[in-house]
Amino acid sequence: MRRKLVVSSLALVILILSFVQPVFSQVTQPLREGNVVADVVEKVSPAVVNINTLKVATYRSPFAPFFEDPFFRYFFGDTPQYERKVPVRGLGTGFVFRSDGYILTNNHVVEGADEIKVTFIDGKEFTGKVVGADPLTDLAVVKINASDLPVIPLGDSDKARVGEWVIAIGNPYGLSHTVTVGVLSAKGRPIQSGDSGREYENFLQTDAAINPGNSGGPLLNLKGEVIGINTAILPYAQGIGFAVPINMAKEILDDLIEKGRVVRAWLGIYIQDVTEEIAQTFGLSEAKGALVADISPDSPAEKSGILRGDIILKVDDQEIDNVAKLQQTIRSHKPGDKVTLEIWRNKEIIQLQVTLGELKEEGIPTVSPRAYFGMEVSEINPELIQRFSLRRNEGVVIVSVEPNGPADEAGLRPGDVILEVNRQRITSLEDWYQATATIKPQDVALLLIDRGGRTYFVPVRAEENR
């Protein structure tokens, strides 16, 4: 009896193992293929470079106006040291995409750099020069005097699938050629950044560790192809990094190399998505299209007769589902192209023909290229109201202040709301840019700010733009 029981138990174990073994093999299969990552890293590392930059920043003492006073000079002489130059070093990553010395990286890695050093994994160092940059996509091309360099092939980010394995290589915190692995977490993420509060579109999201210094490095698939350029992280978040899709880069590389910048078409409107509530208010049967919230003066939109409150439903035969779709459609054209817009106005569909202009800094009036305040401002929105506990919903809010910059020396801080510039009322980013466009280095801008419900006048001396 006992022998029969043992035989039966043994038979049961063998039967279970016969089912478990295929499953166990499938589960452990990725572990057996773990050398794929090592193979990719070994193959592409010679083409990944560290980028070290040097900027010389000039800091001016807040007591400088006193130094210029004749009474002060009488006692302390004519050459007071109220300015000092400080070297500011930066770290980033890039990769060779053409064997004749062309390197792709982020614009913010090399922007304003006085000196660029490019170092390969074998220790060879070259001096780099920016040949083209595009703040809108945060991409830049750096050229070094070299030939027959190893390159990384550019993949197809449109074909990349959410959930597939990806590899990031970079220079985080100066730790050269650091490799991290994760998955492609999402596609089409919008990220807000920049002085204008602009929103970068269509980012790839990954949980591969990305830290300061990774910027400009490649995000690779398991074929060793670049599908993205690592560019951003969310502070205080874990496992959330972003990369510019390589297909976006491929569209502009020729312009960056040949012209130094990207020439894009411009319509000249401020737009927002159509929500269900907005659709009901405007009498639309479904929430689609792009709502015109404002129009830039003397823009193609204004000249063609587009009005605030119009909802753009089509560009030529292209359906417009949302703001991102409209932006992508317009930017796929060239300045001078004529397009036909299908517009919902007063519960009727009309058509307007528009001759597109050229996009310059997203069509927003910008600060004079020489003026610099050392702070980032944004239009007020519900998220910023909650973050800074704001008591006002008009003006522009300071979202960051550069240490030792003009705004910092003037005592400004994140959460301050700017209401006036030189007694000119500020209600939007456009007002801010128009009011500061004529301010030159060493000019003093008198800002009226709101802090915690109380208003203050704060003078800020502009510096040379960096």
Domains and CATH numbers, the chain: 43-50+92-111+130-261 (2.40.10.120), 265-358 (2.30.42.10), 364-464 (2.30.42.10)
More confident residue, 322 or 1: 322
Position 430 confidence tier, pLDDT thresholds 50, 70, 90: confident
Closest by CA position to 120, among listed 153, 90, 152, 150 = 150
Taken as a whole, the chain contains a residue count of 466
H/E segment holding residue 383? helix 382-388
Query: How far apart are the C-alpha atoms of 162 and 183, rounded to whole Å?
Result: 7
Does residue 108 have an active-site annotation? yes
User: So what's the pLDDT on residue 84?
Assistant: 64
Lowest mean pLDDT among 245-254, 282-291, 387-396: 387-396
> Active-site residue among 157, 185, 215, 378?
215
User: So what's the pLDDT on residue 222?
Assistant: 94
* Range with top average pLDDT, 1-10, 16-25, 65-74, 373-382: 373-382
Q: Give the pTM.
A: 0.62
Contact predicate 137/200, CB 8 Å = yes
Task: Name the E strands within 173-253.
Answer: 178-192, 199-206, 218-220, 226-233, 241-245
User: So what's the pLDDT on residue 217?
Assistant: 94
Question: Once rounded to an integer, what is the mean pLDDT over residues 249-278?
Answer: 87
Residues of the chain above pLDDT 70, percent? 79
Position 343 confidence tier, pLDDT thresholds 50, 70, 90: very high
Query: How far apart are the C-alpha atoms of 32 and 182, rounded to whole Å?
Result: 17
Q: Which amino acid does the sequence have at 144?
A: I
Judge whether residue 4 has pLDDT over 70.
no
User: So what's the pLDDT on residue 259?
Assistant: 87
Position 361 confidence tier, pLDDT thresholds 50, 70, 90: low
More confident residue, 454 or 349: 349
Judge whether residue 85 has pLDDT over 80.
no
Q: Please, is 173 exposed, middle or buried when counting C-beta atoms within 10 Å of its C-beta (0-12, 13-18, 19+)?
A: exposed
β-strands 357-358, 463-464 pairing: unpaired
Query: How far apart are the C-alpha atoms of 244 and 137, rounded to whole Å?
Result: 7
Judge whether residue 7 has pLDDT over 70.
no
User: So what's the pLDDT on residue 201?
Assistant: 62
User: So what's the pLDDT on residue 21?
Assistant: 46
Contact predicate 436/421, CB 8 Å = yes
Helix, strand, coil percent content, the chain, rounded in steps of 5: 25, 40, 35
Q: Spell out the residues 6+ positions from residue 7 whose beta carbon is closer than 8 angstroms to its own.
A: none
Q: Which pair of tokens denotes residue 278?
A: 């907005």
Query: How far apart are the C-alpha atoms of 279 and 311, rounded to whole Å?
Result: 10
> Does the CA dihedral 226-227-228-230 come out positive or negative?
negative
Q: Which amino acid does the sequence have at 71?
A: F
User: So what's the pLDDT on residue 427?
Assistant: 86
Look up residue 173 and give its DSSP letter: G
Query: How far apart are the C-alpha atoms of 253 and 190, rounded to whole Å?
Result: 22
* Range with top average pLDDT, 106-115, 138-147, 282-291, 320-329: 138-147
Residues of the chain above pLDDT 90, percent? 39
> Active-site residue among 108, 310, 378, 416?
108
Judge whether residue 196 has pLDDT over 50.
no
User: Which pLDDT tens digit goes with each residue over 123-171?
Assistant: 999 999 999 999 888 899 999 999 999 999 999 999 999 999 999 999 8
More confident residue, 442 or 132: 132
Judge whether residue 382 has pLDDT over 60.
yes
* Range with top average pLDDT, 51-65, 362-376, 440-454: 440-454
Judge whether residue 370 has pLDDT over 70.
no
User: Which pLDDT tens digit goes with each residue over 62-80?
Assistant: 555 555 555 555 555 554 5
Query: How far apart are the C-alpha atoms of 91 and 114, rounded to whole Å?
Result: 14
